[in-house]
Structure 1
C-alpha cells in the first residue's frame, strides 16, 4: 500500500490514492462504487439524499472533472447533452486501499 508522507518526511499511514481528495470527492467515488455508470444528475440526486441538502451544480461538476483528471473516474458521452461517469480500476484499487487503512490493516492487504 502506498502512503502519504507529511511535511516532515513522516509516513502518515494514509493511502496516497485518496489522500489529496476532498470528502465530497470521496463521497462521489463511494456513490459510483455502488451505482456505477451514472449520469451527473443521478450522482447529484444520490448525494443530495445522503447529505439532506441540495448539491450545487458548481460544486459537483468541477469535482467530477477533477476526479477524471486524476484518473479515478471515466467520463463518456451518453448523448449530445448527457455524460456518463464510471469508476476506473485505479479508483477501485484506491478505495480498497483506503478501506484497508481505515480498518487498521497496516499491510494494506486487500
Structure 2
C-alpha cells in the first residue's frame, strides 16, 4: 500500500511538451478560451500548432483533472488546484529544489 504522500503526488512528467506548455500558458494568463491559448502556442512553436490539436490536448488535461472546462458563452478553461500543484512540483524539479522521500535531493 502506498503512503498518502505517494498517492497524492501529481506529476506532469508523463505529459507531452504540448500538455505542459498549455498548462504553463494557463498559469500565466489565467482562465482562457481555446482560441487565445492556440494563439499563444502558435507564437511559441516555430512550426505552429493546429487548433484541433490544442482542443484535444485541453480535453485530455480536463480528463486528468489538471484543467476545468466552464461551458458558458464562450467556453473557458482554468487550471485546477491539481494543475497548479503539478506545475509547482515541475518548477521545483527544474530548479533542483525538489526533495525526494527522506529529504534527500
What's the CA shift for 1:67? 0.1
User: Which position in structure 2 is the counterpart of 1:94?
Assistant: 86
1:42-61 aligned at under 5 Å gives the runs 42-61=36-55
**Structure 1 residue 32 corresponds to structure 2 residue 8:** no
TM-score (ref. length: structure 1):
0.77
Q: CA deviation digits over 1:7-29, x for unaligned, max 9?
A: xxxxxxxx751011100000000
Summarize the Cα distance change of 1:16–1:87 in structure 2 as closer, same or farther, 3 Å threshold. Answer: closer
Structure 2 unmatched ranges of 5 or more: none
| Runs of 4+ with deviation above 2 angstroms | none
Q: State how far apart, in whole Å, the 1-side matches of 2:12 and 2:20 are.
A: 7
Q: State how far apart, in whole Å, the 2-side matches of 1:78 and 1:54 are.
A: 28
Q: RMSD of aligned C-alpha atoms?
A: 2.2
TM-score (ref. length: structure 2):
0.81
User: Which position in structure 2 is the counterpart of 1:11?
Assistant: none
Query: What number of residue pairs does the alignment pair up?
Result: 96
Q: CA deviation digits over 1:48-87, x for unaligned, max 9?
A: 11113432122111100000000000101131xx310011
Summarize the Cα distance change of 1:39–1:30 in structure 2 as closer, same or farther, 3 Å threshold. Answer: same
Structure 1 unmatched ranges of 5 or more: 3-14
